[in-house]
Structure 1
């Protein structure tokens, strides 16, 4: 009798544990389903919210029309001065902000100035390289930080490939004419002769990498030091053209290195 009583208690405990585990799984599933993704609110949308509030629309009405939480509307309204300052920094180029979130005033102003510079280059029918645009962006970013007395700010900007790709998309949405980019496949530099290519095989890839990295530093220094944009751009183009054989040499050596590693 005692044995059957103990077995009954064990089965009750197992059933209770099973129900608790099932409840946890259901609660976990419900919790995961209830998670909402954060919505991206562009600067243009924030300005629209402020304009509607200025016209007398109530927060609940704006919230319902835009499918946003009312607390989000209140937070945007409370940051009116900061939002309008960003618009002023953009100077009408609101399309440059339509794809980002929490972009700094320095970035907004820099991209606006960069877009104006590209428009001037297009009018002069100047061909631009990706590296030239990136160098100009770094120069303008440093200039804007000095103008705003934010040199001690922790914000960094490296004009990366990702930023360049995003900036080109924003530039297109703004309606700026297509950038006149140089075609690397049809460059004016001549092909490397076969005899010279053989003599270069004795060099090291590390040396070439060091030389080319120094060239990039040199172009950055030129962009920061020269106040004449057109002259600066032409000098950087000439530097790129002069060092193109070294880039091809590096490509050759990497190809040779891969062929040596791969089995026959």
Structure 2
């Protein structure tokens, strides 16, 4: 179950369990005592969702379709739920809200550039403008 939830081979998980004492000793020796910053590993579903979302954004741009932050966040939420459902019960504990902070980091990770365009053009006013 652990291997499936993490997207790893069962032999990898078994090797880690067998060598857990060696791994702990090496990580403690390599980590300075003053290290207090923790990093969180994103789940398999999250990584897959971000790759699919990046492809979707690229396709929208190629077709010259307008995209906004809210549209991308909504698509991300829907992709996450869909992928979570496809993965089964092993990933149910993982939640995702598509926050503005997540979106800012996603844009940096995937080099996403959004340009603000007016949603409606006033063609009549433009025609009468000298």
Q: TM-score range by the shorter chain?
A: 0.5 to 0.7
Unaligned runs of 5+ in 2: 1-23, 29-38, 123-130
Larger radius of gyration: 1
Alignment-derived partner of residue 71 in structure 1: 26
**Displacement of 1:119 after TM fit?**
1.1
Q: Is the 8 A contact 1:107 1:141 kept in 2?
A: yes
**Displacement of 1:165 after TM fit?**
0.4
Secondary structure at 2:66 match in 1: coil
Report the TM-score when normalising by structure 1.
0.30
**Displacement of 1:128 after TM fit?**
0.5
Alignment-derived partner of residue 126 in structure 2: none
Higher relative contact order, chain-length normalized (CA < 8 Å, sep 6+): 2
Distance 2:91 2:46 in 1: 16
Distance 1:108 1:131 in 2: 20
- The structure with more helix, counted as a fraction of residues: 1
Alignment-derived partner of residue 128 in structure 1: 67
Aligned pair 1:142/2:81, yes or no?
yes
Counterpart selection for 1:164 from 100, 103, 117:
103
Distance 2:70 2:90 in 1: 24
Counterpart selection for 1:101 from 40, 44, 64:
40
| Equivalences, count | 89
Q: 1:181 to 1:149 in 2, by over 3 A?
A: farther
Alignment-derived partner of residue 188 in structure 1: 120
Unaligned runs of 5+ in 1: 1-68, 74-99, 173-177, 191-264
Deviations 1:144-190 (A, max 9, x none): 10111037722211100000000000011xxxxx444444xx44288
Distance 2:64 2:113 in 1: 10
Secondary structure at 1:155 match in 2: coil
Task: Map 1:1-264 to 2 at 5 A.
Answer: 71-72=26-27, 101-150=40-89, 153-172=92-111, 178-183=112-117, 186-188=118-120
Distance 1:155 1:107 in 2: 9
Report the TM-score when normalising by structure 2.
0.58
Q: Is the 8 A contact 1:122 1:179 kept in 2?
A: no
CA RMSD, 1 decimal: 2.6
